[in-house]
Amino acid sequence: MGKRAELGAAVLLSLPLLSLGCDGCEKEKPYTPFGVTTSVPASEASVPAPSASAKVEPGRFSPAVVAPAGSRKLRMGELTLEAPARYVFDRALLLGEGEKQQVVAWVKAERDARDVPPGLLMAYSVGGKPRQVMAQPSFVPIAPGCVHTTRLVQTSQSNVLVDTTATCPAGLVARVPVQAVSVVAPSSERPEVLTLRIAAPAPGEALSVDEDSADRDGDGREDVKLVFTLTSPDGAKASATLAFLDRAAGVSRDASEPRTSLALGAKAILGKAGPNASAEVDAVRRLLSSLCAEGATPRVFDAEGSPVRCEDLGGVVDTLARADVLSRLAAKDALGAVSVLSRSDWYFKKLSADAEKSITKELTKRLLAVTPSARVLAAKPKLAKGPHWSPLWFEQDGALLIVTDAGVVRASRDAETETLLEGEGAASPWPLDVTDQGGKRLSGSLCACDSSEVQLGFTDSAGAPQNGVPTRVLAPRPGGCKGRFTCPDPVPVGSSPEGLSVLLAGSLSEPRKAGKALPSPGSARSPDGAWLVATTPLGLVVTGPAQELWKLPEAPVDARRAQDCVVAADRAAVACVSDGRVVLLKRP
């Protein structure tokens, strides 16, 4: 029986062990699909390795074999391997056949080893001496408490992917690389094809990298395709590709990527644009923020530490915006759909004129147009800076209450009379400051750079800043991470034990498990909780059982600058503050 036949028999004999599971195999005989693995106990000072019983890594080639804890020697196929001094085996791959057969193995330094790289990629060939192919890149953190894990994956007949990640205690600088992804050709004269530095993903996200080596340009050399997949906190996924061409002079990047793969992904989302597609749009935007230098928050860098430029993303940005609008309209979220225009310059570049025009046309076609009459009231509302409840509030009968410096004024439903409420039993002014259930005061919003979401800013009773609370609105990129950018103040909608509900750049952001409760005075939600009003670039959006767009008249005051808007329970009227005056808008 030849060597190849013997190897095939060893694989077949080992498969039943894999299918049945092998929780205790390491205690009896270490598992390997390529023959017998011999483990020589390490010294007591060696770092304990994780359980290796039948542990394999997925891929289209045979998976890496995880060595039993403390292995100094391994037998794989026809090769007997010995780890370098002060190292133990972590995992190994068998490549090739016959005389060209070789094993590549990742070895880890023992715990008491000093002044040596934490990890090495070793190559073992038939009749040849072991040789070091590469060492763990020095940029991977090795601070006290850091734990390193390595993936070893065969990606072609001659290439392997080495993916080492450091998990360290809190305290590292944000977006500092903690992961080295290397494509290696062990038999080549220059084995390290390329290396990328990758920082930890944003909180709540996951970022994975897979590699496929194939000849992309027909020159007979294996090129490299790295696929980055981001998983958002809600489980939506987005992928993009970086491609590199292996030329005689060295590796060069394919300039068409990631733009081509991003454009295809965006068009696929637009093509289905169902109620859940907006989550996929958000996932792509999150991926862009991590992958592209243009977002000013990159988490992927080349071997020298320079971020990756994605170049012209205008088409991708426009396609994602269109998909976002259609998805939100399909979900009957008119407010969210119109908010895409409110954030038209938030993500990488401003929407093109054509995209804005087509989105505006779609929105005005889908929303019921209302042209209200406008009347300016005499009462002067109390003014407040920063996030605050509106000084306006409709009563159940349609009368409007106005908080003024002198007290509360009641304007009749027809706006013919305005009365200052005085005496015992008169309505008291409600506080305009916004506090959560724990007493913390809402102070503004934070367009964060180290996390993907806009955060709500809070202060305690003494005015000291507190930790921000993430919203469901993605932060602008590059926004303030590169230049000057004013993060918009949140507009309060409601408060519950789970947190605050707010309007942010025209988009409603609520706690994921917000309970049902009637709104507080000054809320943008109607007293019965059925309707919500928000200012947008197109006018006032009144949403609830119906989706309406109220066009704002220019006279008697410019209501296009309306703020502090509230809506009546029957949506017969909306009241706003504009230029320091109360404007009452009534349905015709």
Q: Give me the pLDDT at residue 556, please.
A: 59
The span from the CA of 122 to the CA of 81, in Å, is: 10
In a domain, 97, yes or no: yes
- 556 preceded by cis ω (within 30°)? yes
Closest CA to 318 of 354, 277, 271: 354
Question: Is 352 found in the same domain as 327?
Answer: yes
Q: Give the distance from CA 564 to its chain's centroid.
A: 32
Question: Is 501 found in the same domain as 386?
Answer: yes
Q: Find residue 500's DSSP bridge partners.
A: 495
The span from the CA of 375 to the CA of 393, in Å, is: 16
Question: Encoding tokens for residue 122?
Answer: 């070793």
Question: Is 155 found in the same domain as 109?
Answer: yes
Long-range CB contacts (< 8 A, 24+ apart) of 485-491? 485/447, 487/444, 487/445, 487/446, 487/447, 487/454, 488/445, 489/386, 489/387, 489/444, 489/445, 490/387, 490/442, 490/444, 490/445, 490/456, 491/387, 491/524, 491/534
In a domain, 441, yes or no: yes
Question: Is 407 found in the same domain as 262?
Answer: no
The span from the CA of 317 to the CA of 563, in Å, is: 29
The span from the CA of 202 to the CA of 477, in Å, is: 14
Question: Is 213 found in the same domain as 353?
Answer: yes
Question: Is 434 found in the same domain as 551?
Answer: yes
Whether 348 contacts 288, CB under 8 Å: yes
State in Å, rounded, how far the first CA of the chain is from the last one.
93
Within 10 angstroms of residue 173's Cβ, the number of other Cβ atoms is 7
Q: Could you identify the residue written with the tokens 């004269």?
A: 189
Name the 3-class secondary structure at 18. helix
Q: Find residue 154's DSSP bridge partners.
A: 160
Q: Give me the pLDDT at residue 571, please.
A: 93
Question: Strand ranges (DSSP E) for 310-391?
Answer: 368-370, 373-376
Question: Encoding tokens for residue 240?
Answer: 């993009």
Among candidate residues 111, 143, 166, the one where a domain is terminated = 166
In a domain, 234, yes or no: yes
The span from the CA of 42 to the CA of 56, in Å, is: 23
In a domain, 180, yes or no: no
Question: Encoding tokens for residue 568?
Answer: 């009546």
CA 60, 63, 64: angle at the middle one, nearest 5?
Answer: 145
- In tens digits, what is the pLDDT along the chain, a chain of 588 residues? 443 333 333 333 333 333 323 333 333 333 333 333 333 333 333 333 333 333 334 557 889 999 998 999 998 877 789 999 999 999 999 988 777 788 999 999 998 888 999 999 999 987 778 999 999 999 999 988 899 999 999 998 889 999 999 999 877 888 999 999 999 999 888 899 999 999 999 999 999 999 887 766 666 677 899 999 999 999 999 999 999 987 766 788 999 999 999 999 999 999 988 999 999 999 999 999 999 999 999 999 999 999 999 999 999 999 999 999 999 999 999 999 999 999 999 999 999 999 999 999 999 999 999 999 999 999 999 999 999 999 999 999 999 999 999 999 999 999 999 999 987 777 889 999 999 988 999 999 999 999 999 999 999 989 999 999 999 999 999 999 998 899 999 999 999 888 999 999 999 999 987 667 678 899 999 999 999 999 999 999 999 999 999 987 765 566 568 899 999 999 999 999 998 999 999 998
Whether 340 contacts 359, CB under 8 Å: yes
Q: Give me the pLDDT at residue 5, please.
A: 37
Q: Give the distance from CA 260 to its chain's centroid.
A: 21
Question: Is 350 found in the same domain as 378?
Answer: no
Q: Could you identify the residue written with the tokens 């808007």?
A: 565
Q: What is the pTM of this model?
A: 0.85
Q: Give me the pLDDT at residue 169, please.
A: 86
In a domain, 434, yes or no: yes
SS3 content of the chain, % helix, strand, coil (to 5): 20, 35, 50
In a domain, 289, yes or no: yes
Name the 3-class secondary structure at 399. coil
The span from the CA of 495 to the CA of 501, in Å, is: 6
The span from the CA of 335 to the CA of 493, in Å, is: 14
Q: How many CA atoms lie within 13 A of 248 on its CB side?
A: 2
Phi, psi dihedrals of residue 359, rounded to the nearest 5°: -65, -45
Among candidate residues 366, 382, 398, the one where a domain is terminated = 366
Question: Is 132 found in the same domain as 78?
Answer: yes
In a domain, 194, yes or no: no
Q: Give me the pLDDT at residue 560, please.
A: 61
Question: Encoding tokens for residue 101?
Answer: 């057969």
Domain limits for position 263:
201-366
Query: What DSSP string runs through 274-301?
Result: -TTHHHHHHHHHHHHHHH-GGGS---EE
Q: Could you identify the residue written with the tokens 């505006």?
A: 360
Within 10 angstroms of residue 36's Cβ, the number of other Cβ atoms is 13
Q: What is the pLDDT of residues 515-533, one digit of tens each?
A: 676 788 999 999 999 999 9
Closest CA to 578 of 562, 556, 555: 562
Question: Is 386 found in the same domain as 329?
Answer: no
Among candidate residues 301, 331, 366, the one where a domain is terminated = 366
In a domain, 546, yes or no: yes
Whether 399 contacts 410, CB under 8 Å: yes
Structural domain count, the chain: 3
Sheet harboring 469-474: ordered strands across?
Answer: 441-447, 453-459, 469-474
Question: Is 516 found in the same domain as 490?
Answer: yes
Query: What DSSP string runs through 89-133?
Result: EEEEEEES-GGG-EEEEEEEE-TT--SS-SEEEEEEETTS--EEE
The span from the CA of 581 to the CA of 449, in Å, is: 37
- 511 preceded by cis ω (within 30°)? no
Q: What is the pLDDT of residues 398-449, one digit of tens each?
A: 999 999 999 999 999 999 999 999 877 778 899 999 999 889 999 999 999 9
Q: Could you identify the residue written with the tokens 């008291």?
A: 428
Question: Encoding tokens for residue 137?
Answer: 């890149």
Backbone angle region of 426, left / alpha / beta, with phi > 0 → left and psi within -120 to 50 → alpha: beta
Question: Is 566 found in the same domain as 469?
Answer: yes
Question: Is 473 found in the same domain as 450?
Answer: yes
Q: Give me the pLDDT at residue 427, please.
A: 80
Q: 478-507 burial string, b = 16+ CB within 10 Å, else e? A: bbbbeeeeebbbbbbbbbbeebbbbbbbbb
